[in-house]
Structure 1
Amino acid sequence: MIESSPGHSRRRFLAAAAGGLLATGVAGRAGPAAASGPSAAGSSASGPSASGAEPAAWARVAVIKRRIRPPRFPRRTFPVTGHGAVGDGTTMCTDAFRQAVAACAAAGGGRVLVPAGTYLTGAIHLADNVELHLEAGATIAFSRDPADYLPVVHTRYEGVELMNYSPFIYAIDRTNVAITGSGVIDGQADATHWWDWSGDPPPSERPDKDLLARLAEEGVPVAERVFGTGHHLRPNLIQLYRCRNVLIEGVTVKDSPMWNIHPVQCTNVTVREVTVDSPHGPNNDGLDPESCVDVLIERCEFNTGDDCVAIKAGKNADGRRVNAPSANVLVDSCVMRDGNGGVTIGSETTGGVRWVFAWNCTMSSARLERAVRIKTNPERGGYVRDVYFKDITVGQAADAVVEVALNYENKSTGPYYPDVGAIDIRGLRAGRAPRAFNLIGNPANPIKGVRVTNSVFEEMAEADVVSDVTGFELRNVWVNGHRV
């Protein structure tokens, strides 16, 4: 069940002083200087009360965590090698994986074991009560032939449902599914396989993206939005769709055609100690929980070609049709390196995103564009609210440390203004970046409430951008050695 916010707390938050005066002062700051302020966790000269107590909303984290329980599986093991798989990197093992999963499910569940070796395969479809486990030294290497991901399946492409190539590891409407171990899941995408579909020269996904958007706007049933053969919409590496009780733990994933790990409309999801090493591909997001409820992401490491963690909720007309939010998402003690954003919400926000908590995360790279990022536009609609960050360390970022942009894709007008606000950041310490804040609302629809407390931005080279924001509060915030 999605919990609702106590109305009086939200009203107090949004009743903060209008952001115009604060924005004017912040945007006019001088350039870099040696930092001399307190630590991000320290108190100001006027005492701790000047920065305010931690929001009561953080008490929700323990409640959410109690609901999130990884699935457990029977002590039965089904090695893929017992069904004909050969770990030589050249023998196709698609049938062996299919048979092992079927045998495991028929027995009532257990572990499908991938021993050390490199196993070339097409799509792997999981079943109820099945744990796919990769031993140390095991690699699942996915075929580069699109035909190995047919027939088409019900999936979601950038927030819109359709029938398309199967994600490489896929499950739909399943209970108790897991991907675990210390091995590698390798999508094997590169500049001449899958990634080339993202460009303008043929083959290109652009005509198919436009077609899919038109079909969704016209309300064409999902079963009739058939892509796959002859089309160029890239599949995800791992997508678990409408599943309950999900665990992804320990594995390394790399080089997906696009998004690496994509749970959709799932409940009770744990992603723990996973490494995503996919810094080169287009749209190579690390982990995108979309329209999911009760999600724990902990002790993971991301090095990606797009957003590291991106919380989503469907897009435009199709997002309004499905109308499924993301809620109760916890991001704990993760490391973010390359990427467009460290912890991101959007741009697919149509179903709404609420109660996001991120803490004890470390983010730093010359190619990490932003640390905290919220992006949407007036075609999306939906809402983003009750978002809480604390104790975030940012070594360096290539753009703004904190960005909230309601003009994503340079669209600042439209029929569906998103409701974005109630964003609380505290204990953030950033070393070097062009600017601390890039906050861009819409003239007809401002960002409604951003509070930053007990935070330090040490070497910011440029003035902030703050426009169309109400309720922008800075409490005990230091930039370039000056309290602002």
Structure 2
Amino acid sequence: MCVADGGVKTDRLSPAMVDKLTFLRGVGKQFWDLTDARIVNRNITMLRLGTLLLLCGSVFANELTINKIEDAAKAGQFTNIKIGNIQVPAGQTLHLKGLKAGTKIDFVGKVTFGFKQWEGPLIKIEGKGITVTGSPGHVIDCDGKRWWDGKGGNGGTTKPKFFAARLTDSSISNLNVKNLPVHGFSINSCQKLAITGVNIDVSSGDYANGAHNTDGFDVGSSSDIQIKNCNVKNQDDCLAINSGKNILFQGNTCSGGHGISIGSVGARKDNVVQGVIIKDNVVMKSTNGIRVKTVLNAVGSVSDVTFENIKLVDISKVGITVQGNYLNGGPKGEPTGGVPIRDLTIKNVYGNVLPKGTNILVWVKNASNWKFAFRTLWEVKDKIWRRTIKQDSDAQWRGPGQCFADHPQPRATRFTFP
């Protein structure tokens, strides 16, 4: 095929293969044109053929197709890697490591996984200067229903996490992921990583005792991270930033889960979140809209966080939550203020909360320089403040010792922060 003429059919070839054939054909034509077409003899014919074969070899020799788990061990020898139709054996990780800078990894087939109760991850990719992408028609199907029991990571069957990214100066794009057993992308110890166009669909787990804790993206101890134009249908946080700096989450759609979260922050090795922009996103049919959660009796800090242009649709519990007393399952006692929340901006967050829900809930200690577009500066340093807004006119501070339960259900459930 390398030396064939323009009659080669390319409709069943991958775009990358078509590009290679086009390149080789162009080189061959240029070489032929350099030779006097009137001189035809055996030596020139052999020279032309040899040159094209060498070119062909240089293009294809550095490509690896992974169709079985053993192939992954050779990944460091190649710079073009294709993940074909593969079933990863139960209890094993599709682990690509020792990769050369500039390596391109392309998911082109269907990836599935054997069943075992274990912590995972199912996939792990490490390296610097790595491009990970998915070709049209590919799918990574975790078949999570084999693990689902409604408990997620809180008991029951031990469920494997999906994808551990340990990448620097790299990108992940256009992956199609289905049916996570539990947590999705773990972005830990990464720098300068761009994630775009990823689709995560766990909607088939929307039933009693089904999927739970199926976070879309968990970010920890990472910097300069961008997550843009992704779609997440799940049963937990669309995004959870537990620690990290200079993070952008933009143009994403989150559905069915717990909304977009800073935190929970605290009780980890790294408990600092700084420089986060969350903008131009849609959160729909979720229990919460946007949240900032810091852990009770923990230490750390949250600073310079902006939520802007966020559309909330049919939120069932709370549209906006900022709380300093988080423990798994909800607020526990008075906030301790060990993880101060500073320089928080919320601008143009709009939409609707369902009738039994709450528009805004704030319960914090040791916070400062909060800028809500509809309000002036908020300063809450040494005192504990609780606040709930059930409707637009209900905007009174509630002092210590008063609970949210004494607020009536709202007549109007729409809110807008212009």
Give TM class, smaller chain.
0.5 to 0.7
Structure 2 CA distance, aligned partners of 1:354 and 1:333?
20
Residue 82 of structure 2 corresponds to: 113
Q: Does 1:167 align with 2:124?
A: no
Q: In the alignment, which of 224, 228, 235 is matched to residue 160 of structure 2? A: 235
TM (normalized to structure 1)?
A: 0.58
1:427-457 deviation line (CA, Å, top 9, x unaligned): 222134423211111xxx34334322169xx
Residue 361 of structure 1 corresponds to: 281
Structure number having the greater strand percentage: 2
- CA drift of 1:468 comes to 6.6
TM (normalized to structure 2)?
A: 0.66
1:391-426 deviation line (CA, Å, top 9, x unaligned): 112222112211111121233368772111311111
**Structure 2: tracts of 5 or more residues without a match:** 1-58, 206-210, 376-388, 401-411
Task: Answer whether contact 2:350 2:416 (CA < 8 A) is retained.
Answer: no
**Structure 1: tracts of 5 or more residues without a match:** 1-73, 86-92, 150-164, 206-231, 314-325, 470-477
What is the identity, as a one-letter code, of the residue corresponding to 2:132?
I
Q: In the alignment, which of 43, 48, 69 is matched to residue 94 of structure 1? A: 69
In percent, how many aligned pairs have the same letter? Answer: 18
CA pair 144-132 structure 1, distance change in 2 beyond 3 A:
farther
Structure 2 CA distance, aligned partners of 1:305 and 1:260?
11
Structure 2 CA distance, aligned partners of 1:166 and 1:258?
10
1:68-119 deviation line (CA, Å, top 9, x unaligned): xxxxxx9842112xxxx3xxxxxxx322xxx2x3333124xx232134x464
Structure 2 CA distance, aligned partners of 1:145 and 1:111?
31
The 5-angstrom pairing of residues 24-423 of structure 1 reads 76-80=62-66, 85=67, 93-95=68-70, 99=71, 101-107=72-78, 110-115=79-84, 117=85, 119-121=87-89, 122-127=92-97, 128-129=99-100, 130-135=103-108, 138-146=109-117, 165-171=119-125, 174-182=127-135, 183-190=138-145, 192-193=146-147, 195=149, 198=152, 204=155, 234-241=159-166, 243-279=167-203, 280=205, 281-313=211-243, 326-341=244-259, 343-349=260-266, 350=268, 351-365=271-285, 368-409=286-327, 410-412=331-333, 417-423=338-344
Residue 227 of structure 1 corresponds to: none
CA pair 406-293 structure 1, distance change in 2 beyond 3 A:
same
Structure 1 CA distance, aligned partners of 2:246 and 2:81?
30
SS at match of 2:218: coil
- CA drift of 1:139 comes to 1.8
Task: Answer whether contact 1:435 1:464 (CA < 8 A) is retained.
Answer: no
1:325-347 deviation line (CA, Å, top 9, x unaligned): x0000011111111112x21111
SS at match of 2:129: strand
Q: Compute the RMSD of aligned alpha carbons.
A: 3.3
What is the identity, as a one-letter code, of the residue corresponding to 2:124?
Y
| Greater RCO (CA < 8 Å, at least 6 residues apart) | 1
1:234-271 deviation line (CA, Å, top 9, x unaligned): 33100124x32232210112222321001111111111
CA pair 195-380 structure 1, distance change in 2 beyond 3 A:
farther
Task: Answer whether contact 2:229 2:250 (CA < 8 A) is retained.
Answer: yes
CA pair 377-105 structure 1, distance change in 2 beyond 3 A:
same
- CA drift of 1:479 comes to 8.0
Task: Answer whether contact 1:439 1:467 (CA < 8 A) is retained.
Answer: no
SS at match of 1:418: coil
Structure 2 CA distance, aligned partners of 1:440 and 1:405?
5
CA pair 464-134 structure 1, distance change in 2 beyond 3 A:
farther
Query: Would you say how many aligned residue pairs link Structure 1 and Structure 2?
Result: 314
SS at match of 2:370: strand
